[in-house]
Structure 1
Amino acid sequence: MESEQRVVRRNTLLSRLLNTAAAVALAMLAYSVIHDNLSDHLQNTWPWKLKLLDIQSATTAALAALGASLARAQYARTVRPALGHSGRAVDGMAPLGQRAWACHLTNAAQDVAVISDISYLVAFRPPADGAPPRAPGAWGPALHAIAEIAAAGLEQRKDFMLTVTTAGMPLPAQGRRFLGWFTEHAMQVVDEVYIRVQVVDRVGDTHERTIACLKAADRTPAHPDPELS
C-alpha cells in the first residue's frame, strides 16, 4: 500500500506547452533543411512550395524552444519536493502518562510545497477474542478515519489523535507537519493508517506519495525515542 513519490500531474502551461513548442520548432527546422536541399522543380510543388523559415531562423527558434523546455525541466527538478515520514515513541502527548507513537510528514527538499489533497485509509488488526474481522476501510478525509477508529472502541485524544489536515496547508522546506499519535492500546487495535498525500510545487506540478504511519512502530514502547534532528 505504501508507495514511492511520483508525479501525477504536470502544469499544462509550463510543461506541455513548452514541449509542444520545442517539437514544432524542431519540425520547422527539419522542414527548412529538407526544403533548401530539394531541386528547384520540387520546391515549386506542394507542400514544398510553402516557405516557412530559413535555416538560420528555424535553428534559432529550435534552440530557443529547446532551451526553455530544458530550463523548465531543470528548475522543476530543483524545486521538486522530497516527501517522507518519520515516527518515534514519545512521552507527554497522550493523557494519563501513556507513551505514544507519533508520526510526522516531512519535506526534505529546499522549497516549500502546498498540500492539494490528502486522504486516509485505516487497517485494523484481527480481533484477539475470535470475533469476526473488521471490514476493510475506505479512503476518505481525516474525519472519516477518526470516525472509523472511534467505531472500533478507541477514543480520540485519549487512545489516539489524528490531526485534521486539509488542502491548502503548506509543507515547509526541510520541515515537517505533525500527523498524529497512537497509544499502545490503540496500536493493539489499529494495524496501519495509510495517508495518501498530494502536494503542488512551485512550478505547478503535483506529486503524490502514500505513507504508512505505523510502519516499524514500536507497539509496546518501553522508553521514549530521542528527538529526530
Structure 2
Amino acid sequence: MADRWDQHRISRDRKPIQALKLMLIFFAIDLAWEVLRANVNASQKSDWPWRFTVLDPSTCATLTALMAGILVTRSQYAQATLPILNWSAYPGGSDFVKGSLRTVRLFNAGGGRAIVKAIEYRHELTTTEGESRSSLGPWLGWYEFVKSIEGLGLRRPEEIFVLHLGIGTSIPLTTKSGDGIELIAFGQAALGRLRLVDIRIRIEDTLGDIHEKQLRCLRGDADPGGESSSSRFAYFSAQRTPDSQSVQ
C-alpha cells in the first residue's frame, strides 16, 4: 500500500494514448474480419456483408503490430523519463538564513523533466506546556503562507526563508541533494514558533502526466507517526555533508 507521502501520479494526458488504443482496436477488429473473410467461399465474397473490406490482411496486420509496439514503447518511455522528486534536510547550509538549524533542498533524481504546476504549504504552531495542541492549518499558496508566518513575527529571510517557486520552474536533475534548490530554511526563532510544516508540490513530466509529492519539512517532538525535530537534528549533525542522505 502506497504511503500518502510517496510521489504518485494524479492525472494523465489521456488523449494521445486513447487515440492509439482506438486505432489498435480498429485495426485488430479489421484484421479479425479479414481472417474471417479469407475462410469464406469465393462465391460468397461478392455478397453483402462479405464484400465489405477496409484494408488487405497484410497491411492490417502490420498496422496492428505497429500500434501495439507504439503503446509498449510509450509505456517504457514513461518509466525511463519518470521524474522522481527527492529532498534532504540538514542543519546549516542555507544561503539565506545565517545559522540555519534546518535547511530543506529539493531535487529531481529521476530520468526526465519535472515542471512545477502548483505548490502549497501548511503549518501548525508550537504550543506551550498546558496549552491544547493547535490544529493543522489549511493548504496555502506562497503569498498566503508568507503572510501567515510574518504574522507570527518571523522575519524573512533572517529567521525563515521560503523560496517563491514559480509555476513553470524546472526542478534540477541531479543525484546530489546539495545541488538541489533551497526550498525552505528555519532559524532558531522559526523553530520556536512552528511545530510542523508540510509542502505539497505538483509537477508535469515529459509526457504531460501530473505527479504529486508531499514533503514533511518540519516535525515537532510530539508529532505522532513522524520523526521528531530533535532526532532529525541529531542525525544530520552526525552526517554534516548535504549529500549524505535524503529524508523521506
Q: TM-score range by the shorter chain?
A: 0.7 to 0.9
Q: Can you give the 5+ residue segments of structure 2 that lack an aligned partner in the other structure? A: 220-226, 244-248
With over 3 angstroms needed to count, the CA separation of the structure-2 counterparts of 1:214 and 1:2, relative to structure 1, is farther
CA 1:2/1:151 → structure 2, altered by over 3 Å: closer, same or farther?
farther
Aligned partner of 1:196 in structure 2 is 200
Q: In structure 1, how many angstroms separate the alpha carbons of the residues matched to 2:169 and 2:239? A: 28
The question of whether the paired residues in 1 share the 8 Å contact of 2:116 and 2:169 is answered with yes
Contact 1:22 1:69 in 2 (8 A): no
Report the identity percentage. Answer: 21
Contact persistence 1:21–1:65 (CA under 8 A):
yes
Alpha-carbon distance change, 196 to 30 in structure 1, aligned in 2, over 3 angstroms: farther
- Structure 1 residue identity aligned to 2:242: L
Matched residue type, 1:179 = L
Aligned counterparts of 2:94 and 2:76: Cα–Cα separation in 1: 44
Q: Which residue of 2 aligns with 1:55?
A: 57
* CA–CA distance in structure 2, aligned partners of residues 180 and 224 of structure 1: 21
Instruction: Classify 1:133/1:42 alpha carbon distance in 2 versus 1 (closer, same or farther; 3 Å).
Output: farther
The one-letter amino acid paired with 1:203 is L
Structure 2 counterpart of 1:191, one-letter code: R
Q: Classify the secondary structure of the residue corresponding to 1:171.
A: coil
Residue 44 (str. 1) matches residue 58 (str. 2): no
* TM-score, scaled relative to structure 1: 0.82
1:112 matched to 2:126? The reply is no
Compared CA separation, residues 73 and 130, structure 1 to 2 (3 A): same
Structure 1 Cα separation of the partners of residues 122 and 209 of structure 2: 24
Residue type matched to 1:115 in 2? V
Tell me how far apart the structure 2 counterparts of residues 8 and 137 of structure 1 sit (CA, whole Å).
23
Partner of 2:222 in structure 1? none
1:111-150 equivalent positions in 2, closer than 5 A: 111-125=112-126, 127-131=127-131, 133-150=133-150
CA displacement, residues 38-58 of structure 1 (integer Å, 9 cap, x when unaligned): 456598344x54212222111
Q: Give the number of the structure whose residues are more often strand, by fraction.
A: 1
* CA distance in structure 1 between the aligned counterparts of 2:156 and 2:124, rounded to whole angstroms: 17
Which of 218, 231, 239 does residue 214 from structure 1 map onto? 218
Residues 81, 107 of structure 1: 8 Å contact kept: yes
SS of alignment partner, residue 91 of structure 2? strand
**Deviation sequence 1:109-141 (CA, Å, 0-9, x none):** 23332112211122334x115445444322121
**Unaligned 5+ runs, structure 1:** none
Change (3 A) 1:209 1:37: farther
Instruction: Note closer, same or farther for the CA distance 1:102–1:76 as it changes in structure 2 (3 Å cut).
Output: same
Aligned-pair Cα RMSD in Å = 2.9
So what's the TM-score if we normalise by structure 2?
Answer: 0.77
**Aligned with 1:88 (options 83, 87, 90):** 90
2:180 corresponds to which residue?
176
What displacement does 1:167 show?
Answer: 0.7
2:157 is aligned with 1:157: yes
SS of the residue aligned with 1:123? strand
More deviation, 164-173/17-26: 17-26
Q: Is 2:91 the partner of 1:77?
A: no
The question of 1:227 aligning with 2:241 is answered yes
Deviations 1:150-204 (A, max 9, x none): 3344333233221111211111211522111112442343232222212222232
Q: CA deviation at 1:86?
A: 0.9
In the alignment, the residues of structure 1 paired with residue 39 and residue 79 of structure 2 have an alpha-carbon distance, to the nearest angstrom, of 40
Q: Distance in 2 between matches of 1:113 and 1:93?
A: 23
Could you tell me whether the CA contact under 8 Å between 1:124 and 1:190 is conserved in 2? yes
What CA distance in whole angstroms lies between the structure 1 residues aligned with 2:94 and 2:202?
30
Structure 1 stretch displaced more, 57-66 or 211-220: 211-220
